[in-house]
Amino acid sequence: MTADSRRRVFIGLPAYNEEIALPRLLARIERLIASSGDAITVVIYNDGSTDETAPIARASQDRLPLVLLGCDRNKGLGAGLRALVEYAVATGNDDDVLVIMDCDDTHDPSQIADLLAAAATARAEVVIASRFRRGAMVQGVGRFRRLSALGAMALFKLGHPVRGVWDYTCGYRAYRIGLLRATASAYAGHLIRESGFACMVELLLKLNAGGARFAEIPLRLRYDQKPTESKMDVGGNIRRLLFLLIRWRLRGFEPA
């Protein structure tokens, strides 16, 4: 098999002020690339970081196949996810894969192999690293956030059931690029409208509305390895998700 014929895997990293975690994560990804049979490209979306995130990413281009995207001001996770999806759709083939993971070194890059294997075994187009599958390991997450995740899962499973999915909000996922391309076309440039954390649920539900096939693997989450305080407004995200739960239930998703 030649390099040109290998499946391409894009590792998408939305990053905001991750100068401490990013070098550690890229070192782990570098080891993954060395042992992988796939052609891996790292795509970092720098969301207006005010620290050394962008310079660190640029310096890493000497040793890694790395693309740096981004903007001058912080626009939120939705902008990062949108840019990463658009890049993968514009660059990849239908059978290539976009893996989205957190940039704070709490997700283990070695699980990318598990995501890809599950996609092949289950013939799935989206595979989620789930906190709610037997064998999942979650360390360093406080009780409030655990309960919030459970509550969100129960509400979305009740209001928007997706076959094969229990974890609606975890950002560690693998997407078949052909599915992203077809769904993005159906929504004519409006695949991801949400600017905050709710964009992860929005994308999942829109892909489900288009008939996507889903699977999950157990997540290994090491939140105790996170070197900085969380930037997430947990309370605000819960309120926004509740609002969207009701709106999407009443109005659904209408392609543009």
DSSP conformation letters of the chain: --GGGSPEEEEEEEESS-TTHHHHHHHHHHHHHHH-SSEEEEEEEEES-SSSHHHHHHHHTTTS-EEEEEESS---HHHHHHHHHHHHHHHS-TT-EEEE--SSS-B-TTHHHHHHHHHHHHT-SEEEEETTSTT-EEES--HHHHHHHHHHHHHHHHHS--TT---SS---EEEEHHHHHHHHHHTTT-S----STTHHHHHHHHHHHTT--EEEEE-EEEGGG--S-----HHHHHHHHHHHHHHHHHH-----
- Tell me if 256 is assigned to some domain: no
For the stretch 153-208, pLDDT in tens is 888 888 889 999 999 989 999 999 999 999 999 998 789 998 888 899 999 999 99
pTM of the model: 0.90
Distances (CA, A) of 159 to 5, 162, 234, 243, 252: 42, 10, 21, 12, 11
| Domain of residue 92, residue span | 3-251
pLDDT winner (highest mean) among 3-12, 133-142, 163-172, 241-250: 163-172
Please state, in angstroms and rounded to a whole number, the distance separating the CA atoms of residues 163 and 30.
34
Structural domain count of the chain: 1
For residue 139, how many C-alpha atoms fall within 13 Å in the half-sphere facing its CB?
A: 11
The average confidence (pLDDT) of the chain is 89
| Cβ-contact 92, 177 below 8 angstroms | yes
Please state, in angstroms and rounded to a whole number, the distance separating the CA atoms of residues 52 and 210.
40
Q: What is the pLDDT of residue 256?
A: 44
Q: What is the pLDDT of residue 133?
A: 95
CATH number at residue 58: 3.90.550.10
Q: What is the pLDDT of residue 240?
A: 74
Greater model confidence, 140 or 24: 24
234-251 and 199-209 helices cross at what angle (nearest 10)? 20
**Rg of the chain (C-alpha set):** 17
For the stretch 221-238, pLDDT in tens is 987 777 666 555 555 666
Of 207, 223, 140, nearest to 173 by C-alpha is 207
Please state, in angstroms and rounded to a whole number, the distance separating the CA atoms of residues 58 and 38.
23
Distances (CA, A) of 217 to 89, 130, 144: 24, 6, 24
Q: Record the tokens describing residue 169, joined without a space.
A: 């909000």
Give the mean pLDDT of 86-104.
97
- Tell me if 244 is assigned to some domain: yes
pLDDT winner (highest mean) among 72-81, 224-233, 246-255: 72-81
* pLDDT at residue 1 greater than cutoff 50: no
Q: What is the pLDDT of residue 228?
A: 61
